[in-house]
Structure 1
């Protein structure tokens, strides 16, 4: 079964809006686990506008499911990940100023840089995933830099889904097949939701993991967190 990793950045955003510690990030992460999530994802940024570096340190000792830390591999991020040693690190090409991820890596142009970063994390025993689009050379070079997995950037799929699910998913199926052919594990994330998750999962049933944050947290405002996580898990059966 494809694992559901809940990105809790939006919980931290809500907390930070008023200061203090409400809602409590650690409690919410533990609740997500208790409700059936098989992983927790965080994306700490240098300005700490949502998840803070200390949140990452606080989460690691108490989580019992897979911990995934994603972010741009600046020096402070690399140091944090090597200190905490999560199960997985996902490398994204965001600049610090970006609101959210909006593209995958150019693994050809940044092959040497990514090779060094991946080696650093793998020396710590951390599974490494690289955020990519559907361009096949980018996936092939993710394997060449030593990554264990790629995470497909699924916003284009989500955007096109309402017009034509078949056309929307086609490049992602080809990308997934390429990843499998070169020996990479496969994750997916960005704008996946209750509307479009089940369909992409049926087309790519060998997905290892989906990481979902914004849509899931929004749904929880209406349905409650427990029912929301159950609904997302139902999409992955």
Structure 2
């Protein structure tokens, strides 16, 4: 069964808008895990616009307490700065179960594209080697078309264990009612990744509305990372009920 990792970045956005510690990121993550989520994801950015380094340390402790996966996302090329030690340094400090490398710039509102493996392979290789020495599973953010994602064999050659398919274009198409046009593209990319020996994760704008259709069309997705939609849906139904609805979708596919 595909597993669910809940991204709690949006809890931190709400907290930071007012200052203080409410809503509490760790308490929210605990509620998700108590509801049955299989792991927690965070994507700390150098500007600390949401998740901060202290959140990373606290959530690492929480996931160890529960014995579940901690997935740390970030741009490994972003230089350290006050309050942000750098992505690799954070991984060295907390040893996440999975390190997901994402090519986002400081100016991006959110992650919106994957690596170009033909261009980025040489730069990624030494960083992946460093992270593998920490016994992290390595996942690389990837687009679901050849022009942007390049040859999946290159992702495997740099030492990655998985790719995470960027599902933003699928979510947009699903909302327009024409997702069928993208099912073949995502399914083909998933098969190419698996043929190269890579596991497949997926994430970005997946929701209660579109998740089931995606998983029925794309073979053997091992993990979905969902935050923005889940937290928004939980404003109406609560975290416990919302996480359980996602788990029912995963169990039914």
- Asked if residue 134 in structure 1 is aligned to residue 144 in structure 2, the reply is yes
* Contact kept in structure 1, 2:191 and 2:219, CA below 8 Å: no
Match of 1:163 in 2: 177
- Unpaired runs of 5+ residues, structure 1, are none
Which is further off, 119-128 or 203-212? 203-212
TM-score (norm 1): 0.97
Q: SS state of the match for residue 173, structure 1?
A: helix
- Asked if residue 68 in structure 1 is aligned to residue 68 in structure 2, the reply is no
- Note the 1:38-187 alignment, pairs <5 A: 38-63=38-63, 64=66, 65-73=68-76, 74-75=78-79, 76-136=86-146, 137-161=150-174, 162-187=176-201
* Contact kept in structure 2, 1:68 and 1:87, CA below 8 Å: yes
Q: Offset at 1:204?
A: 2.4
- Work out which of the residue numbers 214, 219, 222 in structure 2 matches 1:208: 222
**Cα RMSD between the aligned structures?**
1.1
Q: Offset at 1:106?
A: 0.8
TM-score (norm 2): 0.91
- Asked if residue 227 in structure 1 is aligned to residue 230 in structure 2, the reply is no
- Unpaired runs of 5+ residues, structure 2, are 80-85
Which is further off, 132-141 or 154-163? 132-141
Q: Offset at 1:173?
A: 0.2
CA-to-aligned-CA distance 1:147-193 (integer Å, 9 cap, x gap):
00000000111111233232122100000011111110110000101
Q: SS state of the match for residue 103, structure 1?
A: coil
Q: Offset at 1:138?
A: 4.0
Q: Offset at 1:134?
A: 1.3
Which is further off, 162-171 or 225-234? 162-171
Q: SS state of the match for residue 233, structure 1?
A: helix
